[in-house]
Amino acid sequence: MDIRTRPDTHGPAARRLPIVVKGYPRLSETFIAQEILALEEAGFLVEIWSLRRPTDSARHELHKRIRARLHYLPEYLYQAPRRVLAGLLHARQLPGWGAFLSTALRDLRRDPTPNRMRRLGQALVLARELDPELAHLYVHFLHTPASVARYAALLRNGTWSFSAHAKDIWTTPEWERREKIAASRWGVTCTRQGYAELMRLSPTDDPGRVRLAYHGLDLTRFPPPPQRTARRDGHDPQDPIHLVSVGRMVAKKGFSDLLDALAMLPADRHWRLVHIGSGELKDQLKAQAERLGIAGRIEWKGSQPQDGVVKALREADLFVLACREGDGGDRDGLPNVLMEAASQKLAIASTNYAGVPEFVTDGANGRLVPPGDAAALAAVLAELIADPDARERLGAAAFATLVDQFSLDGGITTLKRLLHDSLMDVELTP
């Protein structure tokens, strides 16, 4: 059935849109929640299919506003054998079974891992449980979620599109990225660096297959910037300067470099750091802070909902994030938290790496140092700590950049058009 003929009780502008994600909800992926809410407000009827259940105990207020129906695929196949078996039996009757089987066997020969088997099993479940009238899938991340979406679309003779971000672009094998891009209807990505890499792998006869679409920031979700009346310069031990950093405790966020840089600051500069986030390096970073003798100046707040993040940004004098290359070539895109800091006119110190310089220009609306250079970061932090006027100027300039160039509207407009066209044009083959 053509999806245009389906009756809908939510208004004529609504479009039914299944979105596949790796995990939902996640505190570290506000950009996905922001996008889903914007699509709902644009009239799309979203349903979310998640490969994993949440591990965060808290939720952002943003998640509570999303109305999408939420489905969880079996995270581990042995936990839902009946769903997987039912999916397999159903798949053998689908029009794309032969193409799916050929693709699955080819992929397994190149990647004979439990992870690959899990994605194939999840695709079987998705292909069976997804409403058969829904012909187009949209997926966040080009690695494992895109595998599930691609296999399910192949089984159903449907189409799929993707949004690629950071780790999925830089750590997925080249053969897999190239084949996924070729199999997709279209894709978007959120940094010029990521766009250039995906264009390199795109079909030469379809240069428009991948588009650049910044996530931007929905400023209606944030309070107006505060008036920072304090003129802290680090000289008063009773009123130290407030630093804040937000990000998962993983290698690519560069927190080890940040701790080294903080330990290099002059002894007569008094500071305190609030860190928000959790992750696999938590114990290692805390031990490093103890070795460096700075643990008493750091408050590790763990994962926080959005209002907790905003509160920390509003109370801070300076935001710092030392992005660098992570394990296996992993790297950031454009960290959303940079724009969140800018929304509060907070001065930013970061690194000239990945998508960061697409938002921050050194000396104009923030300060950038080479990635992995703790000494350079320490020098910049010392300068900014001592100069409240520079912090005020850079924070105001970052806010202006955000408003002028990185609002939510631009990227969402591109995405709405692409999704609308995809949902209107496709139909499943009986």
How many domains does the chain fold into?
Answer: 2
* Residues 227 and 246 both lie in one domain: yes
The structure's pTM equals: 0.85
State the sign of the Cα–Cα–Cα–Cα dihedral 159, 164, 168, 170: positive
Q: Residue 273 pairs with which residues in a beta bridge?
A: 243, 298
- Confirm if 324 and 354 have CB atoms less than 8 A apart: no
Better pLDDT: 399 or 56: 399
The helix or strand, by DSSP H or E, that contains position 124, with its residue range, turns out to be: helix 114-129
Residues 349, 256, single domain; the answer is yes
**Residue 427: pLDDT above 70?**
no
Domain span including residue 241: 221-405
**Mean pLDDT, rounded, for 349-354:** 96
Is residue 191 domain-shared with residue 62, that is, in the same domain? yes
Mark out the alpha helices in 130-213 (DSSP H runs).
144-156, 167-171, 174-183, 192-201
Same domain, 318 and 416: no
Look up the CATH number of the domain holding residue 144: 3.40.50.2000
43 occurs within a structural domain: yes
Is 430 domain-assigned?
no
Say yes or no: 297 and 170 in one domain. no
- Of 63, 66, 24, 34, whose CA–CA distance to 406 is shortest? 34
Angle at 260 between CA 355 and CA 295, to 5 degrees: 115
Burial class (CB within 10 angstroms; exposed 0-12, middle 13-18, buried 19+) of 229: exposed
Mean pLDDT of the chain: 92
Same domain, 364 and 381: yes
Q: Please choose, from the candidates 321, 317, 324, 338, the residue with its C-alpha nearest in 3D space to the C-alpha of residue 269.
A: 317
The pLDDT tens digits of the residues spanning 21-56 come to: 999 998 888 889 999 999 999 999 999 999 999 887
362 shares a domain with 254: yes
> How would residue 271 be classed by pLDDT, with cut points 50, 70 and 90?
very high
CB 406 within 8 A of CB 360: no
**Residues 363 and 262 reside in one and the same domain:** yes
Any domain includes 104: yes
